[in-house]
Amino acid sequence: MNQAQRRDFFETLKNHNPAPTTELNYSSPFELLIAVILSAQATDVGVNKATDKLYPVANTPETILALGVDGLKQYIKTIGLFNSKAENVIKTCKMLIEQHNSQVPEDREALEALPGVGRKTANVILNTVFKHPVIAVDTHIFRLSNRTGLAKGKTVKAVEDKLMKVVPKEYLLDAHHWLILHGRYVCLARKPKCETCCVTQYCDFYRDQQRRQSSSVS
């Protein structure tokens, strides 16, 4: 995929979804932070089911901290790795209260210092809450970027670095959401839905498939 095709790729995604956003339910930066921590190796649907019960009861660092680890587990026990996640969330709440006046910091280093927060989670918060032009690369975006030729790389960080270089600036702010949604619902891992994909004309994988089919026919 060349740079002109990358621009058309994102313009097409924009036309199909002008205002993409996260599928996690939240009403404050803190709620999103906790939801993203809980979403590691879990689905957004599963996280939303848990937080829909949790947040009416506790949705601030103080109120979740007051639940304690065991109290929090009762709300998130349907989510994978809930034991370690409960520990991390309680520790994060304590740090936010003690070090950040109960506010989610707009700083990568401060975010990544919070238990349960790595580079990907920090990027989600910086992008979705604070509107920083960064891209959180998850398994969907990693797969899609390599498969389509948008940004090839052997590691998550390599793909992130390549995306930051090749995504046209005017699309950077929403690129994360366009890519994750397209990877989640169209460019699937086992059987991509090329027949309903709106960007096949720019996709290396699709073109290779078409060439192979043409060769086998001839």
Is 93 within any annotated ligand binding site?
no
Vertex 160: Cα angle to 103 and 182 (nearest 5):
90
Is 194 within any annotated ligand binding site?
yes
Whether the CB-CB separation of 128 and 21 falls below 8 Å is answered with yes
The yes-or-no answer on residue 174 being catalytic is no
Q: Which residues contact 101 (CB under 8 A, 6 or more apart)?
A: none
SS3 labels along 101-118: CCCCCCCHHHHHCCCCCC
The yes-or-no answer on residue 120 being catalytic is yes
Catalytic residue among 14, 49, 91, 120: 120
In the three-class reduction of DSSP (H, G, I as helix; E, B as strand; rest coil), residue 62 is classed as: helix
Return d(Cα 134, Cα 144) in angstroms, integer.
Answer: 17
Catalytic residue among 73, 85, 138, 174: 138
Q: Could you list the residues known to form a binding site for [4Fe-4S] cluster, using ranges.
A: 187, 194, 197, 203
User: Which residues belong to the active site?
Assistant: 120, 138
